[in-house]
Structure 1
Amino acid sequence: MKIIVSGRGYPEKRNIIVNEKHTYLDFKYKNIWLYLNKIRNKATKANKTFVFYPVSFLMPDDAQVIHLFNEVACTDKRWVSTFETELPRVLPVPGVPKLANPALRKQLRLIAAPQCVAIVAISEATRQIQLRLLNAFPEEAPLIISKLHKLHPPQPVLYQGQRPEQESRLIFTFAGNEFYRKGGAEVVLAFSELASEGIVSARDVQVNIVGDLRNRYNFAHGRYQDEDYFYQHIETLIRGNALFSHTASLPNHALIDLFKRTHAGLLPTWQDTYGFSVLEMQACGCPVISTNVRALPEINPSEAGWMIECPLNDMFELTINSAEDKASLRRFIVSQLKSTIQDILANREALLSRSKAALTRIQQVHDPVRFKEQLNAIYALA
């Protein structure tokens, strides 16, 4: 089968370009909106439009379907789109209420049209957010809901080995290029406090931190970003404590090798649409401590990991409306991390049972063979 895609980035590789039996034709640079977006942004600073509008005479006749990520298509060709929050993706316009944005209704009509055969939410949280959006558009909703599917990304098992039960030193790993958004600071604060309280030391705990400390902007914090002294404090703690081993980045194969040696992963994230690193850790038999934003409760259930239950808004995300909100949530996340880490240190059997359960859920829920079958069934609708 020949499938047209609109890029070969990480989302496409994780959710679309997954079947070696198919041929994927990259039309990223044959999308008229790629160039229109650049012209409009330069001329008027207009928002980016997430529409795939291919040059018609370049479209091969033998391509069976177009499969996009976070985009809608304006074409006579049959198309499918996988999405992580809402579809269509329409950026906010100052002074215009979200539901009154004419671009939103215009693009919803593209989804309601017969050329769109399916839209695929990557999680139940995403599906619920989409349904909430459609409630505001009763004319288009019935046509679109009939096309709405849910399909969690595939993940192969990466390691079947078991961590030694009597190993004295436990290894924890945090991995996130956007260090502060993913909760890296809270990891450092939690372990530093436990060390100061004499509960952990470099003799019994190693904390690997993979993340770029220069990535300071935290999308979840909005107007209430941290001050320079906070970032400097976190960096001082990392440098000054033998618990921590920090590297700015690792190639994926090296990161997977690190997960295979890790007893428990760390993702106390402030904002995530999915949490792909959780899948990779679980696929290495490494259970994860995470927050409960967006899809994380679905992919990190209590039998396979540990959940920090934060208060969420109707988008399944954290709400930060003040510096006090941020400080209160940070204190809560740090305290929950500390409590969970202590439980892990005290109960190695629970750690091992979660390791096994993490592998089992990867095999059962994210099996690549089953994912291909489900995706092919969606393509058959075209």
Structure 2
Amino acid sequence: MQPTKKILGTKYMTYAEKRNFALDFPNYEVRRSIDLYVYLAAAHLRLKKRPNTNWINLHNDFGLDNCIGYHFWNAASVSQKPWVTTLELPCADDTRLKYLARKQCRKIFCLSSWVMNYEKSFLLNSPYGDEILPKLQLLHPSQEANIDEDSLLAKEFEVCRFIFIDRDFFRKGGYECVKAFTKVLESGFSAELIIVSKMDTKDYPLDAPDEELSHTLQLVEKSKGKIKIFNELSHQEVMQLIASSNVGLLPTYLDSYGYSVLEFFSYGLPAITTNINALIEINSSERGWIIDMPVVDTGHGVKRILRNSLEQRQQASNTLTDYLFQCLSSVLEQPNTIKDKSLAALKYVMENHIKSRNIEILEATYNNF
């Protein structure tokens, strides 16, 4: 008979929690817990039509949860039970810092070196620095390899296939992928582009104009099957598409990390990305291509490409499309570069995102609750 696992609570159970710490632990199970602020945040969203970021990132269990402690995503807790949190983004607000400094907070895992370095720098001038700094620990997401080196080396292709995967088509640069790839086809190159996305106009900070979505669909039609769009697929189907592709695309305007890049790497796909936040430490010229877009610090170390007006949006789109076209053309002109970058991408995942190591680190922390 297997021993009963100890229960750890968390605020939500989204992709982020499942991806980073709701793992297959030998001795622990992570479950969604009771939390006053979840209900307050939901009510605020319904009434005000916008999220309350303070309530989203706070937790109060009133001592009612049947768990030994908590692991949160970005959040801080008023609970008397021990807890840890994972910071996806730098934290600089006094409300959370006050709770992060309390003894109940045992560890603060930083998702990237970008977050870790900013947090250290910020805390040097914070009254909470002495309490919080010793708790910081870098812990990248885990990613299991989905192909071995021999199989990757044996992989052959007649036509180079690029793939873009993200529900936020416009924010992640999907529109620019289609525009740049259209120019690639017009230049006489033979290639394919796979798009897996919801294809709506949701974007940040402004929704995409309907004309951009219409233009996208027109270009797809014009490609005569060279650009394929899939709106809804199972996880297994998406992984099969990655496995049969050669280069991953994430030319994003705003991202904290970029999980799809790790998934590309796990199949030996080098990636084309922008230079946003943690992407510059995940991707590199050794295992992919980085598009050096002009970025601005919008506060507390968060960098993004400005698109606050229709004029800025158009300018950024034109610039990114031109860079992407140059990059795609270079790849197709020198297809032999894909193999070396593919091996480097796979080795990077195998050496730096080991799931068993992350489980060991997290369990060691929970054991001290």
Deviations 1:301-357 (A, max 9, x none): 211111111122232322234434333322221122111112211222210001101
* 1:139 pairs with 2:121: no
Greater alpha carbon shift after TM alignment, 226-235 vs 40-49: 40-49
Aligned to 1:15: 20
For 2:238 and 2:342, the matched residues in 1 are separated by 18
For 2:64 and 2:313, the matched residues in 1 are separated by 52
Q: 2:90 aligns with which of 75, 86, 107?
A: 86
Which runs of 5 or more structure 2 residues have no equivalent in the other structure?
Answer: 1-5
CA contact (8 A) 1:186 1:330 kept: yes
Corresponding residue SS for 2:296 = coil
Greater alpha carbon shift after TM alignment, 177-186 vs 370-379: 370-379
CA RMSD of aligned residues (A): 2.2
Aligned to 1:233: 215
Aligned residues: 354
Greater alpha carbon shift after TM alignment, 335-344 vs 156-165: 156-165
CA, structure 1 residues 153+44, in 2 after alignment: closer, same or farther (shift >3 Å)? closer
User: Once the 2 structures are TM-superposed, how far is the Cα of residue 132 of structure 1 from its aligned partner?
Assistant: 5.2
**Amino acid paired to 1:56:** G
For 2:157 and 2:274, the matched residues in 1 are separated by 27
In the TM superposition, what are the counterparts of 1:181-260 in structure 2 within 5 Å? 181-196=171-186, 198-200=187-189, 204-214=190-200, 216-219=201-204, 222-223=205-206, 225-242=207-224, 243-260=226-243
For 1:42 and 1:342, the matched residues in 2 are separated by 47
* 1:319 pairs with 2:282: no
Aligned to 1:177: 167
Aligned to 1:101: none
TM-score (structure 2 length as normaliser): 0.89
* 1:369 pairs with 2:369: no
Aligned to 1:56: 63
For 1:44 and 1:295, the matched residues in 2 are separated by 32
TM-score (structure 1 length as normaliser): 0.86
For 1:7 and 1:269, the matched residues in 2 are separated by 25
For 2:314 and 2:43, the matched residues in 1 are separated by 41
User: Once the 2 structures are TM-superposed, how far is the Cα of residue 140 of structure 1 from its aligned partner?
Assistant: 1.1
User: Once the 2 structures are TM-superposed, how far is the Cα of residue 24 of structure 1 from its aligned partner?
Assistant: 1.8
Corresponding residue SS for 2:336 = helix
For 1:236 and 1:309, the matched residues in 2 are separated by 28
* 1:289 pairs with 2:275: no
CA contact (8 A) 1:122 1:151 kept: yes
Deviations 1:168-211 (A, max 9, x none): 31111111111111111001000111222x332xxx31111111
User: Once the 2 structures are TM-superposed, how far is the Cα of residue 299 of structure 1 from its aligned partner?
Assistant: 1.0
Aligned to 2:256: 273
Corresponding residue SS for 1:212 = coil
Greater alpha carbon shift after TM alignment, 105-114 vs 225-234: 225-234
Greater alpha carbon shift after TM alignment, 121-130 vs 304-313: 121-130
For 2:345 and 2:142, the matched residues in 1 are separated by 14
Corresponding residue SS for 1:355 = helix
Q: What percentage of aligned pairs have identical amino acids? A: 26
For 2:32 and 2:228, the matched residues in 1 are separated by 42
CA, structure 1 residues 119+350, in 2 after alignment: closer, same or farther (shift >3 Å)? same
Deviations 1:116-159 (A, max 9, x none): 011111011222343455456x2112211221111100000012
Aligned to 1:100: none
For 1:377 and 1:230, the matched residues in 2 are separated by 49
